[in-house]
Structure 1
Amino acid sequence: MAVAAFIAAPAVLPALPGGSNDSIQENAAPHPEISVDAFGDSAGHWRHITNPHAVIQPRPDCPVYPPASIREIAANILLFQRSNGGWPKNYDMRAVLTEEEKASVRATRDARDTTFDNETTHAHVAYLAKASTLLCEPGYRAAVERGIDFILSAQMPNGGWPQSWPAPEGFAAFITFNDRVMAGNLTVLRDAANGANGFAWLDTARREKCRDAVARGIACVLACQYRTADGKLTGWGQQHNPQTLRPDHARSFEPPCICSEDTAGIVRFLMKIEKPSPGIIHAVKSAAAWLDAVKIAGRRVETSTSTPAVFPWHKTDQDKRIVDDPSAPPLWARMYEMETNRPFFCGVDGVKVYTFAEVDRDRRTGYNWHGYWPAEVLGQDYPAWLKAHP
């Protein structure tokens, strides 16, 4: 899986051969762009992670459509949609594919590799909903309906969503907060229920189903928020056991934890609820307090050039270390121990360590152990939200 990015480097998309992406831009219809940011995670994995099982492999010179090429991007999204209504992860929806590559994708239409991991499926549905409003293509709406039905069918009785569906195995069957699985599904279903962001045309029956799913999903979110032995609410893990609702193990280097990135994402979603219940307000305030308490001051991640190395899932010519810097903005570790709030790290051997230098270079360069994910939430969103909910 890629519950969290296997590689820390952002997706760097190549220019068109012989020039810039402007050569495709010239043929684009004059209409507003639709954000393609949500596709960046999967695109980065496709282009930078070694995956011999991918249906198509990235060409080194594979160009991309600019964001204004909505019709072409939407065509790619339709191409990759599986017959069950969901999408596979780790492909680039902006890639300019050859006819041979398109044929290879079509041949796997009935595959059961559909997932919500790495911003998959909910991001595709959200994009097509906006595209259907701009371009009035009936095919877009049909794909959106199938995507909505897929998301609804995957919701567990407890209100959560697994990482993959319809055939999750191991931790892929856990309630997944990582990579915006829960927050992404809830956001698109909330928009669908409210007829917002391109869903104004959606039928009443589906809207009501979406509304019910969102209510059950929020209840699951609140039930999963980790409470310490002394009764203090904190944040959320990367994945939670569907029976106990506690954070649980995923890959060898992803033990149970409280995750600052996923907690920030859930807080952002909860703060957008127009009329929050007292339970939601308490959850947000508790999680924000936890995020503020575990921030790391006076340190930053330094990336340097190093000896090229090839690992099972990626290759790199970089290395990373933590350095002291009194002027650095607050930094967060990805994983914190649930009872102590102590940052920790893991190698592929699954052994927990407490200093970044102890992590093997494979995981040190191939996983996002540190970040600034809560910075905007605590610095802008939360103070504004507090004014409405003092």
Structure 2
Amino acid sequence: MVFSWLLTACSTAHFAKVPVTKVTIAKQSGNASLSTLPQQGNPVNNALNQYQAWLSSASTQAQRLQQDQQKADVILSWQLASGGFFKHKPAVYLKPWDGQSPRSGWLGDNGTEVGTIDNNATVSEILFLANVFQRSHDKRYKDAARRALDYLLIMQYPTGGWPQVYPTRSQYPQGVTAYSSYVTFNDNAMIRVLLLLDLIKQQHAPVNNQLFSAAQHKRVEQAIATGIRYILKAQIKQNGVKTVWCAQHDPVTYAPKPARIYELASKSGSESVLITSYLMSQPQTPEIKQAVLAALRWFDQVGVKDRAYVKIKRENKGRDPLYNPIQAAPGKTMWYRFYQLEQDVGFFSDRDGGVYFDIMAISQERREGYSWAGTYPEKLFKYAQQVGYYTR
């Protein structure tokens, strides 16, 4: 299926990290009252901190502001015509755009440079520019942050999800959908967008003090509500029972979708953690609570006891073709990154697109060059138990 029509519709549609110290009650329409969970310990709380590494650590406040403004000026030069940003490595922001080099590694239709939310892109730039604006009051940074927010709002599908890039990448054969056009939970991309929108909605620093317009705030609230609806509808059911999510989903049918050839459609033991954590940051409607509890039960059921995933050290990569990263570990629990859609069986893959149940059956290059398992939901379980939501 090609989603160009849907992207066009999105371009014209104008449709948290928010810690609280106690349970609050949010009044809703009618007579219902919805509890909001205490947020201390929620795994989402540190999900937007990457931009802070860009801030100067100079010894004086004046020096820090001067250096941060210099970096902000560089970032402004790299902003795309769409308002978004590409996923640049830190070294790119050491010098301004030269006016000729590509500002994006990908192109869309008619040679349009493509922005992205992958690798924290666009979200981190908004937060950094907002931080520098609050200290400098330089209107250029506010204007750039507003343009970037408009980009995020425009790229949202009418159904509520966010693709990895916008506009659509063009380097795919006609009739083939780029995986970057799917709704992207991979590497927590969509959840970071929603967390940013939550900060904006609730006027938390650095996106406070009327940084964004009243019209933008209205669109932000609508985008959050639509995004949450998408998450709830996309939750994968297995034999009629809700489980978790895939790293990518179809924006129209909500079906789980593949990405790179070794990233098959599956139930994700990794990305589903922050999705669940995000839902726990929201007012607990019956639908949200049902989704959260279903995900927690699934995680509890599929963990592999007495095993640990121990990646080979970087300096040893390529040296030991017999090294097995899945090791015996009494008392530990491991979760696979990929679980089959039709049953709770973890699997691996390779550049041939095959399904393997033994990690030693895939190539050494993929075995060492990708993360296949981990302790993904441990912090989520700790938080859920802390707030009295779930006990293992």
Q: Where on the TM-score scale, by shorter chain, does this alignment land: which range?
A: 0.7 to 0.9
**Pair 1:386-2:388 in alignment:** yes
Which residue of 1 is the match for residue 249 of structure 2? Answer: 240
Alignment of 1:275-290 (within 5 A): 275-290=283-298
- Return the offset for 1:28: 5.8
**Pair 1:321-2:324 in alignment:** yes
Change beyond 3 A, Cα 1:386–1:257? same
Letter in 1 for 2:116: T
Alignment of 1:100-249 (within 5 A): 102-103=97-98, 108=103, 112-168=113-169, 169-200=177-208, 201=210, 202-229=212-239, 231-249=240-258
- Give the Cα–Cα distance (whole angstroms) in 1 for the partners of residues 320 and 127 of structure 2: 35
Please report the RMSD computed on the Cα atoms of aligned residues, expressed in angstroms.
3.0
Which residue of 2 is the match for residue 255 of structure 1? Answer: 264
For structure 2, which runs of at least 5 residues remain unmatched after alignment? 1-52, 105-110, 170-176
Q: Cα deviation per residue 1:291-312 (whole Å; 9 max; x = unaligned)? A: 1222222222334469988xxx
Letter in 1 for 2:329: P
Letter in 1 for 2:148: G
- Return the offset for 1:98: 5.0
Is the contact between residue 306 and residue 318 of structure 1 (CA under 8 Å) also seen in structure 2?
no
Match of 1:341 among 325, 344, 351: 344
- Give the Cα–Cα distance (whole angstroms) in 2 for the partners of residues 75 and 282 of structure 1: 46
- Give the Cα–Cα distance (whole angstroms) in 2 for the partners of residues 302 and 27 of structure 1: 39
Is the contact between residue 71 and residue 94 of structure 2 (CA under 8 Å) also seen in structure 1?
no
Which residue of 1 is the match for residue 302 of structure 2? Answer: 294
Letter in 1 for 2:165: S
Is the contact between residue 293 and residue 390 of structure 2 (CA under 8 Å) also seen in structure 1?
no
- Give the Cα–Cα distance (whole angstroms) in 2 for the partners of residues 80 and 329 of structure 1: 45
Is the contact between residue 182 and residue 248 of structure 2 (CA under 8 Å) also seen in structure 1?
yes
- Return the offset for 1:212: 0.4
Which residue of 1 is the match for residue 107 of structure 2? Answer: none
User: Which secondary structure does the structure 2 equivalent of 1:330 belong to?
Assistant: strand
Q: Cα deviation per residue 1:299-334 (whole Å; 9 max; x = unaligned)? A: 22334469988xxxxxx6676523433346322211
How many residue pairs get matched?
321
Letter in 1 for 2:223: A
Identity of aligned residues (%): 25
- Return the offset for 1:184: 1.1
Change beyond 3 A, Cα 1:104–1:333? farther
For structure 1, which runs of at least 5 residues remain unmatched after alignment? 1-20, 34-67, 310-315
Is the contact between residue 331 and residue 370 of structure 1 (CA under 8 Å) also seen in structure 2?
yes
Bigger RCO of structures 1 and 2 (CA < 8 A, at least 6 apart):
2
Is the contact between residue 73 and residue 93 of structure 1 (CA under 8 Å) also seen in structure 2?
no
Is the contact between residue 25 and residue 69 of structure 1 (CA under 8 Å) also seen in structure 2?
no
Is the contact between residue 222 and residue 280 of structure 1 (CA under 8 Å) also seen in structure 2?
yes
Change beyond 3 A, Cα 1:75–1:358? farther
Is the contact between residue 77 and residue 93 of structure 1 (CA under 8 Å) also seen in structure 2?
no
- Give the Cα–Cα distance (whole angstroms) in 1 for the partners of residues 183 and 202 of structure 2: 25
- Return the offset for 1:181: 1.9
- Return the offset for 1:133: 2.0
TM-score by length of 1: 0.74
Alignment of 1:64-75 (within 5 A): 70-75=68-73
- Give the Cα–Cα distance (whole angstroms) in 2 for the partners of residues 233 and 104 of structure 1: 50
Which residue of 1 is the match for residue 29 of structure 2? Answer: none
Change beyond 3 A, Cα 1:298–1:107? closer
